[in-house]
Amino acid sequence: MEWIADPTAGAWLRDRLDASFDSMHGVVPRGYPAYARVLHPTIVQSLPGRAVPTPEEWTRMPDRERLRLSELLVTELATWRDAADAFGTVLHPLAQWLHLVRTPPGEDGNVRIAPDGREFSGPALGQLSSELLSSVAGHLAEHTSTPDAGVAALWEGRGGLLGFLGHSPSRLFFTVDEDPNHRAMLDRSTHDPFNNVFRKPTWQEGILSREISEAPRLELPERAYVQFSASSREFAEQDWMLHAPWRDLPAEEHGFPPNAISPQILWPDDRAWVLVSEIDYDSTVIAGSVELIAAICADERIEAFPIPEGSLLHEDADEENR
């Protein structure tokens, strides 16, 4: 995988995208024979013998009780089918998470307690897990004449991805420090915004180099992307993130496990298909052949549905669960 300096490598997508975001074709190219929607997994937590406390109940709980219950929590990956069954709703190709988990107007749908007491967290937005991407990429590699050549595009706004000129980094890594003098110095530096205003902006490092961070990017409607050469066969490997140029090495240096975000757009050189994990979507859309879509939707490791061209994927599009 190598950085592509030419920002026009993905310019062909513009001609296949709508000018508006009314349908999925604001981000997903038109003109393919078939489309699949891959649902991002959710996380469910349960407590033996009782309902999981609401966020407000956790806040009011004594520290000792909160710690005791935290140690008993069981955390698992779950499907949208699991959520629909728990909330008594209908899972269908255009289902939307907020309606699937019966979120009242104005309330947060990212944490919902089901009638059986389990807590469901909303799916990740704009990103496939590394394992799910590998499963999908295995099918993608089988349905292109160029499985070893393609492009991966990453949205420029992913936190920490790009460096920039500024007064403070886009993210901080905190460590426990018992030295009171060091602690006092840190407190002064983080609680002195007045003086920081007059400091000269300096380069704040990101995951990617300054050269990449300052270079022109692929411009699509309301989105801009950094592009890398990447193949579907590479993403089909379980350890693909270890070889990604955007692997989050700064986080690893602070003790976090290896990680790399999944691409927002992926396509092979022959353009036989396109994978789109739009940053505001809780699902990934794949455009390709009828055979590819059928294979993905038949894979038991992947929760996916075929959807028609022109599908609406905004949160109010789920009429069956309103």
Per mean pLDDT, which of 23-27, 166-170, 174-178, 259-263 is the most reliable?
23-27
| Beta-sheet pairing, 34-39 with 2-3 | unpaired
Which of 66, 69, 97 minimizes the C-alpha distance to 81?
97
Average confidence (pLDDT) over 246-269: 85
pLDDT at 100: 93
At residue 190, the pLDDT reads: 45
Residue 186: pLDDT over 50: no
Count other C-beta atoms under 10 Å from residue 105's C-beta.
5
pLDDT value at residue 165: 72
Provide the pLDDT confidence category of residue 304 given band limits of 50, 70 and 90.
very high
DSSP H helical ranges for the chain = 55-60, 63-72, 80-87, 97-100, 130-142, 180-190, 193-196, 210-214, 232-236, 249-253, 290-298
- Contact (CB, 8 A) for 209 and 250: no
Q: Are 95 and 103 in contact (CB under 8 A)?
A: no
d(CA 243, CA 172): 24
| Confidence bin at 296 (pLDDT 50/70/90) | very high
- Taking CA atoms, 33 is separated from 50, 288, 307, 309, in Å, by 48, 6, 11, 9
152-165 exposure pattern, b = at least 16 Cβ within 10 A, e = fewer: bbbbbebebbbbee
More confident residue, 311 or 55: 311
- What is the pLDDT averaged over residues 149-161? 89
For residue 103 the two structure tokens come to 């979120």
Taking the C-alpha atoms of residue 67 and residue 69, their distance in angstroms, rounded to an integer, is 6
Report the predicted TM-score, pTM, of the whole model to 2 decimal places: 0.83
Give the mean model confidence (pLDDT) for residues 189-217. Answer: 71
pLDDT over 50 (residue 176): no
The C-alpha atoms of residue 69 and residue 49 are separated, in whole angstroms, by 11
Three-point CA angle 2, 212, 6, nearest 5°? 65
Which spans in 191-280 are helix H? 193-196, 210-214, 232-236, 249-253
Least confident residue range of 57-61, 229-233, 238-242: 57-61
Higher pLDDT, 109 or 127: 127
Q: Work out the pLDDT band at 174, boundaries 50, 70, 90.
A: low
List the one residue out of 127, 106, 123 whose CA is nearest residue 260. Answer: 127
Averaged pLDDT for residues 167-187: 55
- In this predicted model, what pLDDT tens digit does every residue of 13-56 receive, in sequence order? 999 999 888 889 999 999 999 999 999 999 988 777 667 777 77
- Would the pLDDT of 276 be above 90? yes
Q: Residue 242 pLDDT > 90, yes or no?
A: no
Beta-carbon contacts of 269 under 8 Å, excluding residues fewer than 6 positions away, are: 146, 149, 150, 151
| Nearest residue to 286 via CA among 300, 261, 268 | 268
Among residues 295, 290, 293, the alpha carbon closest in space to that of 275 is found at 293
Other residues' Cβ atoms within 10 Å of the Cβ of residue 169: 14
CA angle 188, 191, 194 (to 5 degrees): 105
How many percent of the chain have pLDDT more than 70? 88
Domain ranges of the chain: 2-40+126-163+205-307, 42-121, 166-204
